[in-house]
Structure 1
Amino acid sequence: MRVLIVDDERLARAELRRLLAAHPDVTIAGEAANAPDAIDQVAQLRPDVLLLDVQMPGASGFDLLLALDDPPEVIFTTAFDRYAMQAFEVNALDYLQKPIQAARLAGALQRAAQRLAVHQPAPALAPRQLFIRDGERCWFVDVGRIRLFESEGNYARVYFDGERPLLLRSLNQLEERLGPRFVRASRQHLVNLEHVRAMTPGDGGTLVLELSCGTQVEVSRRRAAALRAAGL
């Protein structure tokens, strides 16, 4: 398991290195002192797990996650109680308050190994999960749980489970990144084919997709022709 340490405090990074030395199955891929450096290292090193401080100068740990197209698993490490609820809302592996206890870190690493073991490989270049922040709420969302993206200007509304937060990504950006399981139904909608339970003819050569939640999405005539040509 490859870990990237992200913390603006040199002593905090050194302490994490000391604690991680007790785990022979963990490789420290690198360390970063700020969000921009971490973004570069995630792209270059492709770590499995981030040990991520929440509050750092310039950009927070949450800002870092928003900048990543495909964030690794995350264990938050911070001295600030007021971030605890937000950290748990994002469904991170764990939230470790400084000074970090060896037993708590060991438990978080064990959960990381378990989660990594069950994930199926994603298509080449396609993200496995997205990090979404809407106001004070945050989520890590497996891409397969997302039924639909709906364009709202420069944002996309994301439909998964019972949630519908806004994501600062355009549909064009998402379509390029998400791979073949998502199809562009229209200028307004990007649909996960795995959540389509029925496809019926619409007016004027269009199609109507019925999603697993009951939502109906109309596919434009031009895009309907492309879907039919692809055998869908």
Structure 2
Amino acid sequence: MKVLIVDDSRLARAELRRLLEAHPDVEVAGEARNAEEARAQLAAQPVDLLLLDIHMPGETGFELLASLEAAPPVVFTTAYDAHALRAFEVNALDYLLKPVQEARLGAALDKVRAQQPADAPSAAVEAAPVPAPATPLTAQDQVFVKDGERCWFVRLGEVRLFEINGSYTQIYFEQHRPLIPRTLSQLEARLDPKLFFRANRQQIINLNFVEGVEPWFSHSLRLTLRGGEVVEVSRQQSVRFRELLSL
């Protein structure tokens, strides 16, 4: 497991390094003193976890996340508990108060391990090259979503539907429906075609959330998603859907 430590305090970074030495499967991939340095390191290599301070000179930890198109799992480390609610609103795995306790850090690392696919090597074992911007994002990738004053840190595999809503795209995950300033074409270029399917001009669906399929007008199909949404697949895309899912 590769970890990037982001904290403006040298002593805090050194203490986290010391605590991580107790975990043989963890490798400190680097340290950053601020959001700018963190972005540069994330662009240079993939990591499995961000240990991220909130209050730093310049941008905060939240602002760093908002600037990333995709980010690894995050555990916040901070001397203040005032931002705990906001941290979990962006789906942080954990929120550790300084001085960080060894047991609490171990529990946070266990959460990261539990999320890693059993058959997928971690970045510490297989340091793959950084994907180019056009490389499709996987189901395990997490993206930061902001809609007004609310924000989320959501894994793409949990998104069941992308739908045009005016000049925005609406994202469906859990009970949330935030809007983002992206077109479906922009999203389709980044999404894994093995997981996400363009059903029509208005909607992209997550194939893992298809609960029911029924024939519809003019040889088209109508799909029901877990969550209750009903999607009518265009006639042309219905042909592709049948080919995609046929033996």
Question: Could you state the TM-score of these two structures normalised by the residue count of structure 1?
Answer: 0.82
Q: CA deviation at 1:177?
A: 2.2
**Contact 1:70 1:127 (C-alpha < 8 Å) held by counterparts:** no
Are residues 1:111 and 2:125 paired?
no
**Contact 1:183 1:190 (C-alpha < 8 Å) held by counterparts:** yes
* Distance of 1:62 and 1:111 partners within structure 2: 20
| Mapping of residues 15-26 of structure 1, within 5 Å | 15-26=15-26
For 1:106-144, what per-residue CA distance to the aligned partner results, in whole angstroms no more than 9, with x for missing partners? 3322332333365868x9752413333334444333333
Larger RCO: 1 or 2 (CA < 8 Å, sep 6+): 2
Q: Which piece of structure 1 moves more, 146-155 or 157-166?
A: 146-155
| Mapping of residues 64-213 of structure 1, within 5 Å | 64-116=64-116, 118=118, 125-128=137-140, 129-153=142-166, 155-179=168-192, 180-204=194-218, 206-213=220-227
Residue 56 of structure 1 aligns to a residue in which SS? coil
**Contact 1:127 1:177 (C-alpha < 8 Å) held by counterparts:** no
Can you give the 5+ residue segments of structure 2 that lack an aligned partner in the other structure? Answer: 122-134
Residue 83 of structure 2 aligns to a residue in which SS? helix
For 1:128-186, what per-residue CA distance to the aligned partner results, in whole angstroms no more than 9, with x for missing partners? 13333334444333333221111235542211222222344432232222212111122
Identity percentage of aligned residues: 52
Q: CA deviation at 1:95?
A: 0.5
* Distance of 2:119 and 2:91 partners within structure 1: 16
Q: 1:124 to 1:183 in 2, by over 3 A?
A: closer
Residue 81 of structure 1 aligns to a residue in which SS? coil
- Aligned match of 1:2: 2
Q: 1:215 to 1:185 in 2, by over 3 A?
A: same
Query: Match for 2:100: what amino acid?
Result: I
Are residues 1:218 and 2:229 paired?
no
**Contact 1:52 1:75 (C-alpha < 8 Å) held by counterparts:** yes
Q: CA deviation at 1:196?
A: 1.8
* Distance of 1:33 and 1:158 partners within structure 2: 33
**Contact 2:136 2:189 (C-alpha < 8 Å) held by counterparts:** no
- Aligned match of 2:36: 36
Q: Which piece of structure 1 moves more, 127-136 or 96-105?
A: 127-136
Residue 116 of structure 2 aligns to a residue in which SS? helix
Q: 1:176 to 1:124 in 2, by over 3 A?
A: closer
**Contact 2:7 2:13 (C-alpha < 8 Å) held by counterparts:** yes
Are residues 1:59 and 2:59 paired?
yes
- Aligned match of 2:128: none
**Contact 2:4 2:29 (C-alpha < 8 Å) held by counterparts:** yes
Between the two proteins, the alignment pairs up a number of residues equal to 231
Q: CA deviation at 1:53?
A: 1.2
**Contact 2:35 2:59 (C-alpha < 8 Å) held by counterparts:** yes
Q: 1:25 to 1:227 in 2, by over 3 A?
A: closer
* Distance of 2:96 and 2:12 partners within structure 1: 12
* Distance of 1:171 and 1:57 partners within structure 2: 36
**Contact 1:181 1:193 (C-alpha < 8 Å) held by counterparts:** yes
- Greater fraction of residues in helix: 1
* Distance of 1:93 and 1:118 partners within structure 2: 19
Residue 211 of structure 2 aligns to a residue in which SS? strand
